[in-house]
Amino acid sequence: MVEDDVGLRNRMSGRLRAMGATVTEVGRLAETRKLLRELRFDFALVDLHLPDGDLHCITQYPSQDHEN
């Protein structure tokens, strides 16, 4: 989940966890880019307008093949 509003991020991630989801949370574009290089995600819930950049560019982020 990418959301810079900590209160909203906490509420939303709490609800997702209550439904059994595993949630990774970040609040900045830089953190998002780092995680996309390191991990594989099945689903992303994103705030498109962050203080350090516009997340529209992430929709074009190249997928990585991970061994697992």
pLDDT digits (tens, 9 = 90+) for 49-60: 888 877 776 666
Distance CA 47, CA 13 (A): 13
Whether 48 maps to a domain, the answer reads: yes
Average the pLDDT over 36-40 and give the result: 89
Q: Is residue 65 part of a domain?
A: no
Based on the structure, what is the number of domains in the chain?
1
Check residues 66 and 10 and name the one with the higher pLDDT: 10
Q: Which residue has the tokens 């509003």?
A: 5
Q: Is a pLDDT exceeding 50 seen at residue 66?
A: no
Question: Which tokens is 16 given?
Answer: 């997702």
The answer to whether residue 37 is domain-embedded is yes
The residue range of the domain holding 25 is 6-60
Domain-located, residue 66: no
Q: What is the pLDDT of residue 29?
A: 87
> Cβ neighbours of residue 62 under 8 Å, at least 6 residues apart?
none
